[in-house]
């Protein structure tokens, strides 16, 4: 049975395949199932979701609430039953608002996690297929292409112009070139050019790699293990309310104690009378409605954020977000949809063409001015669209039930592929004719595909 191997970067691709008891055609389904039972799924362990009971108890873990409980007890002992029930009502309302908001947020996050299923292209029984990345095991042969999320730590066994984005793991902002050659044993992880890492992405190129680490036995898994030992601290808002509660407690107790001293020693009140009065002052000095008011204000903030599709998991996070002065975020795919559309086509000696349609939906018209034209009747335009379709590694996948299209690959190439389809050119007819392909290279600002025609070869190039 295969075992995790140390330092796979110092071994040749052939040695790694041998040590993991695999082959270049991939594992058999039976062998993969056996390994999955032994090593478990290729997943990082998630923190256990908090139970509803503990979530409810969490609402009472607050100095303001503790002081109110203390005030309710004093009111009960001194016979102020109405005050007692008023305070208890406030405590229950406060806990109910907090529990309701955080419980709904937990349920929403759980539902979102179920919707997100990472997949991987993997060889099983000699055939390439797509599986949930959680089912990957040691020795699996995976295929990596433009835009793919790398599903496990793996040793490259074949590559072509492969560059990966490893910022999430190493902090390197620029794409890193990869190759299958062996590396020295003391090579740092960030410089191991023959390895790809779980949680990173393929910027461009193509590769086949053999899985060498899954789950917690990956680089990102070791980081996750380290982070799991970090204790969660109290939020800024909780710290502020704790300080406020302690200050009010000191003021209330000091005022009640001072009244007792003055009334008993200087005004000669009976001890029972001045004691009850001092306790009444102690209870009155505590703002019973404050926790409920705070919860209502925070709930309103969380509700407004929910209308803008932002889930507030920690109830007090709305106040923390209000104190934020700057937000650093990635643009592509975060603030935008990472979707491109070809709008205009320019051909020398002709007026420009305008192309209708949006995103990856391959339906639209070619127009000159306000007139719709048939692109199949223009030989030059058809040749341009053919180049756009052939010098292209992107793939459009059609979900027939939802009637939506998903792009696999580079967005720029995807826009050119959609443009070609709008013009009636289908890329699948040229796949068998491809002899060689050069993925986009930022240094020379172009990509190229060599195509075999009937009596000759053609080089199709797209770029700047």
Q: What is the DSSP string of 95-141?
A: HHHHHHHHHHHHHHHHHHHHH---EEEEEETTEEEEEEGGG--TT-E
Sheet strand arrangement including 434-441:
434-441, 446-452, 457-463
Question: Residue 337 above 70 pLDDT?
Answer: no
CA proximity to 105, closest of 57, 55, 60: 55
CATH 3.40.1110.10 in the chain, residue ranges = 344-463
Distance CA 145, CA 163 (A): 10
Distance CA 299, CA 338 (A): 33
Question: Residue 461 above 60 pLDDT?
Answer: yes
- 95 phi and psi, to 5 degrees? -65, -40
408 membership: H or E segment, kind and range: strand 404-408
Mean pLDDT for the stretch of residues 432-456: 81
Q: Which pLDDT belongs to residue 196?
A: 92
What are the residues whose beta carbons fall under 8 Å from the beta carbon of 264, sequence distance 6 or more?
271, 274
CATH 2.70.150.10 in the chain, residue ranges = 8-42+136-227
pLDDT digits (tens, 9 = 90+) for 382-434: 999 988 888 887 778 888 888 888 877 677 888 898 999 998 887 666 766 78
Q: Which pLDDT belongs to residue 229?
A: 62
Distance CA 101, CA 76 (A): 31
> For residues 207 and 194, is the Cβ–Cβ distance under 8 A?
no
What are the distances in angstroms from CA 39 to CA 35, 67, 122, 279?
A: 6, 51, 18, 64
pLDDT digits (tens, 9 = 90+) for 131-173: 888 899 999 999 998 778 899 999 999 988 888 888 777 766 6
Residues annotated as part of the active site: 330
Tokens 């969490």 correspond to 58
User: Which residues does residue 194 pair with via DSSP β-bridges, in sequence order?
Assistant: none
CATH code for the domain defined by 8-42+136-227: 2.70.150.10
Which of 3.40.1110.10, 3.30.1180.20, 3.40.630.40, 3.40.190.10 would CATH assign to domain 344-463? Answer: 3.40.1110.10
> For residues 360 and 396, is the Cβ–Cβ distance under 8 A?
yes
């Amino acid at each position: 049975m295969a075992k995790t191997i140390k330092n796979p970067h110092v071994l040749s691709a052939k040695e790694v395949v041998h040590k993991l008891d695999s082959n270049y055609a991939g594992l058999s389904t039976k062998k993969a199932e056996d390994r999955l039972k032994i090593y478990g799924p290729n997943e990082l362990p998630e923190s256990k979701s908090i139970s509803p009971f503990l979530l409810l108890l969490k609402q009472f873990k607050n100095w303001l609430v503790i002081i109110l409980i203390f005030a309710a007890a004093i009111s009960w002992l001194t016979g102020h039953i109405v005050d007692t029930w008023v305070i208890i009502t406030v405590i229950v309302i406060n806990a109910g608002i907090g529990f309701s908001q955080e419980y709904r947020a937990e349920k929403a996050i759980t539902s979102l996690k179920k919707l997100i299923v990472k997949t991987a292209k993997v060889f099983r029984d000699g055939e390439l297929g797509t599986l949930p990345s959680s089912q990957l095991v040691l020795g699996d042969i995976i295929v990596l292409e433009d835009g793919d999320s790398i599903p496990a730590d793996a040793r490259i066994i074949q590559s072509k112009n492969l560059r990966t984005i490893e910022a999430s793991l190493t902090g390197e902002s620029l794409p890193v070139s990869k190759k299958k050659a062996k590396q020295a044993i003391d090579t740092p992880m960030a410089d191991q050019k023959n390895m790809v890492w779980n949680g990173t992405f393929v910027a461009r190129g193509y590769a086949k790699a053999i899985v060498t680490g899954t789950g917690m036995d990956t680089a990102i898994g070791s980081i996750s293990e380290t982070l799991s030992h970090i204790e969660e601290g109290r939020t800024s808002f909780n710290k502020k309310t704790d300080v406020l509660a302690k200050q009010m407690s000191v003021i209330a107790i000091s005022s009640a104690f001072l009244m007792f001293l003055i009334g008993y020693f200087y005004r000669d009140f009976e001890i029972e009378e001045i004691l009850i009065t001092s306790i009444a002052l102690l209870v009155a000095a505590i703002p019973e409605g404050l926790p409920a008011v705070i919860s209502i204000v925070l709930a309103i903030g969380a509700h407004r954020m929910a209308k803008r599709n932002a889930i507030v998991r920690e109830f007090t996070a709305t106040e923390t977000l209000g104190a934020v002065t700057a937000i650093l975020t990635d643009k592509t795919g975060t603030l935008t949809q990472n979707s491109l559309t070809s709008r205009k086509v320019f051909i020398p000696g002709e007026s420009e063409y305008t192309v209708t349609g949006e995103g990856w939906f391959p339906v639209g018209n070619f127009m000159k001015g306000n007139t719709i034209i048939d692109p199949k009747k223009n030989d030059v335009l058809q040749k341009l669209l053919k180049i756009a379709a052939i010098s292209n590694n992107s793939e459009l996948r059609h979900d027939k039930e939802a009637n939506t299209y998903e792009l696999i690959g580079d967005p720029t190439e995807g826009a050119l592929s959609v443009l070609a389809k709008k013009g009636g050119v289908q890329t699948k007819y040229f796949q068998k004719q491809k002899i060689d392909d050069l993925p986009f290279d930022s240094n020379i600002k172009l990509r190229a595909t060599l195509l075999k025609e009937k009596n000759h070869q053609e080089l199709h190039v797209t770029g700047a």
